[in-house]
């Protein structure tokens, strides 16, 4: 079968590999859709300290069960499934407290296990043990189901930032994650949602699809000024930074309303993780700053329900569908910001 394998930073190859064999507690799937994201581009360029090459990449996975290990119950060939990306251990102190996104034993598809840029993939028992293999609801395509994983991460972020009814929400970053944030905030009853990006083309592409109440180009406009004007001088109830930008995080503090919440959704580059925070703004305005680290199995299930019910449509966010042979082109398209979501159909 064909796979996309990471060998070293800058050395990612489409190559032939033997079909994997599932162990007695595993499930084997025929991958039907595996979406790409900025993380894949990061791995391509820099590798990742959890990846020991060679490793098949791809973590936004949907497919069809083709073989079930002898000890596995509840699954059979032909089942349509979505696979979690971040796999918690289910047993540690955080997991037993229900904090599965910060499990310190977390392992991941495409990092510790071969991922979904392949014709066939083994879903390891680690996934099944934490109920991380999810049935795709009727009416949801494989491509849409592959977007459940990033949507699950967005859901985790908005739960932590308590996005809800009547909120004014600013989303900084108009990539696929930013688009999902806009859609989910609307589904949760946000009053107004404003989308910000430095790149005018990408902002326009995203705004055309997700229709924010205002689209603010940071290269042309002072973002803080614009948000303060749009919110009648009050600031936004929630600011979500879905961009790897310390400057955006610092700006977020300047445009958040009293008792507002700030989600540092996107991580910063490893060599530039420090920002400056006027702690008195946080103190006097009673701000909450929260992080976000991936998603739990339950977030993935909820994401599939949100897609199935139409509360968060994702089909139109998939702007490109490519065969596995073109996966390297897909990374280029993602890196250049030309697409919203690029889905590989192996
Ligand atoms: Zn991803
Ligand atoms: Zn754990």
Q: What percent of the chain has pLDDT over 70?
A: 100
Nearest bound ligand to the CA of residue 39? 1
Q: Minimal CA–CA distance to 317: which of 174, 199, 216?
A: 174
Distance 37 CA to ligand 1 centre (A): 5
> What separation in Å is there between the alpha carbon of 232 and the centre of ligand 2?
44
Alpha carbon dihedral 326, 328, 330, 331, in 10-degree steps, equals: 170
Q: Is residue 69 over pLDDT 90?
A: yes
Average pLDDT of span 95-121: 98
Q: Which ligand has the minimum distance to the alpha carbon of residue 342?
A: 1
What per-residue confidence (pLDDT) applies to 318?
A: 97
Residues with Cβ within 8 Å of 135's Cβ and at least 6 positions away in sequence, in order, are 79, 80, 81, 82
Query: Ligand 1 centroid to 307 CA: how many Å?
Result: 17
- Cα–Cα distance measured from residue 124 to residue 271, given in angstroms and rounded to the nearest whole number: 33
Instruction: Work out the burial of residue 294: count CB atoms within 10 Å of its CB; fewer than 13 is exposed, 13-18 middle, 19 or more buried.
Output: buried
Ligand nearest to the CA of 98: 2
Which one of the ligands is nearest to 37 CA? 1
| Dist. CA 324–CA 124, nearest whole Å | 22
Beta carbons of 152 and 303 less than 8 angstroms apart: yes
Has this prediction a pTM greater than 0.75? yes
How far does residue 240's CA lie from ligand 2's centre (Å)?
27
Q: How confident is the model at residue 47 (pLDDT cuts 50, 70, 90)?
A: very high
Ligand nearest to the CA of 103: 2
Mean pLDDT within 336-345: 93
For the chain, give the percent of residues with pLDDT over 90: 98
* Two structure tokens written together for 216: 């603010």
In tens, the pLDDT along 316-338 reads 999 999 999 999 999 999 988 88
Q: What pLDDT does residue 270 have?
A: 87
Q: How far is CA 337 from CA 82, 101, 121, 188, 199, in A?
A: 26, 28, 28, 27, 9
Distance separating alpha carbons of residues 333 and 311, to the nearest angstrom: 28
Does the pLDDT at position 32 exceed 90?
A: yes
Please give the structure tokens belonging to residue 135. 């049935």
How far does the centroid of ligand 1 lie from the alpha carbon of residue 305, in Å? 19
pLDDT of residue 3: 98
Ligand 1: centre distance to CA 335 (Å)? 13
Q: Are 295 and 152 in contact (CB under 8 A)?
A: yes
Average pLDDT over all residues of the chain: 97
Closest ligand to residue 108's CA: 1
Distance 97 CA to ligand 2 centre (A): 9
pLDDT for position 258: 98
Task: Report the separation in Å between the CA atom of 30 and the middle of ligand 2, taken as the mean of its atom positions.
Answer: 28
Handedness of CA 332, 207, 203, 251 (dihedral sign): negative
- Going from the Cα of 114 to the center of ligand 1, the distance in angstroms, rounded, reads 15
- The 3-state secondary structure of the chain reads CEEEEEEECCEEEEEECCCCCCCCCCEEEEEEEEECCHHHHHHHHHCCCCCCCCEECCCEEEEEEEEECCCCCCCCCCCEEEECCEECCCCCHHHHCCCHHHCCCCEEECCCECCCCECEEEECHHHHHCCCEEECCCCCCHHHHHCHHHHHHHHHHHHHCCCCCCCEEEEECCCHHHHHHHHHHHHCCCCEEEEEECCHHHHHHHHHHHCCCEEEECCCCCHHHHHHHHCCCCCEEEEEECCCCHHHHHHHHHCEEEEEEEECCCCCCCCCCCCCCCHHHHHHHCCEEECCCCCCHHHHHHHHHHHHHCCCCCHHHEEEEEEHHHHHHHHHHHHCCCCCEEEEEC
Task: Tell whether the model's pLDDT for residue 170 goes beyond 90.
Answer: yes
Separation of 57 CA from ligand 1 center, angstroms?
11
Indicate which ligand has the atom closest to the C-alpha of 107: 2
Tell me the CA–centroid distance for residue 35 and ligand 2, in Å: 26
Q: Any idea what the Cα angle at residue 148 is, between residues 144 and 151, rounded to 5°? A: 120
The predicted structure's pLDDT at residue 166: 98
pLDDT digits (tens, 9 = 90+) for 275-301: 999 999 999 999 999 999 999 999 999
Task: Judge whether 68 and 77 are in contact, CB under 8 Å.
Answer: yes
CA–centroid distance, residue 88 to ligand 2 (Å): 5
Beta bridge partners, 12, equal 6
């Amino acid at each position: 079968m064909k796979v996309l394998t990471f060998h070293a930073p800058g050395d990612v190859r489409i190559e032939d590999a033997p079909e994997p064999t599932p162990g007695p507690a595993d499930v084997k799937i025929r991958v039907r859709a595996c979406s790409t994201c900025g993380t894949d581009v990061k791995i391509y360029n820099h590798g990742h300290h959890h990846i020991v090459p060679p490793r098949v990449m791809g973590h936004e996975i949907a497919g069809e069960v083709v073989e079930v290990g002898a000890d596995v119950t509840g699954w059979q060939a032909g089942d349509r499934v979505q696979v979690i990306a971040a796999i918690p251990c289910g047993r540690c102190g955080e997991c037993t407290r229900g904090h599965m996104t910060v499990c310190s034993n977390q392992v991941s598809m495409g990092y510790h296990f071969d991922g979904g840029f392949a014709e066939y993939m083994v879903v390891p028992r680690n996934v099944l043990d934490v109920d991380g293999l999810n049935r795709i609801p009727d009416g949801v395509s494989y491509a849409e189901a592959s977007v459940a994983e990033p949507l699950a991460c967005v859901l985790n972020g908005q739960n932590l930032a308590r996005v809800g009814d009547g909120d004014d929400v600013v989303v900084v970053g108009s990539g696929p994650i930013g688009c999902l944030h806009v859609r989910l905030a609307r589904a949760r009853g946000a009053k107004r949602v404003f989308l910000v990006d430095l790149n005018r083309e990408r902002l326009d592409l995203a705004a055309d699809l997700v229709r924010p109440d205002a689209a603010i180009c940071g290269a042309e406009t002072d973002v803080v000024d614009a948000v303060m004007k749009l919110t009648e001088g009050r600031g936004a109830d929630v600011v979500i930074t879905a961009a790897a930008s310390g400057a955006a995080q610092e700006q977020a503090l300047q445009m958040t309303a009293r008792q507002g919440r700030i989600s540092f959704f996107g991580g910063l580059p490893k060599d530039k993780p420090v920002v400056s925070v006027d702690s008195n703004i946080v103190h006097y305005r009673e701000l909450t700053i929260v992080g976000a680290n991936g998603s739990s199995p339950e977030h993935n299930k909820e994401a599939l329900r949100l897609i199935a019910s139409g509360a968060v449509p994702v089909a139109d966010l998939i702007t490109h569908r490519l065969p596995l042979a073109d996966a390297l082109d897909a990374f280029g398209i993602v890196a250049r910001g030309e697409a919203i979501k690029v889905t590989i159909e192996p």
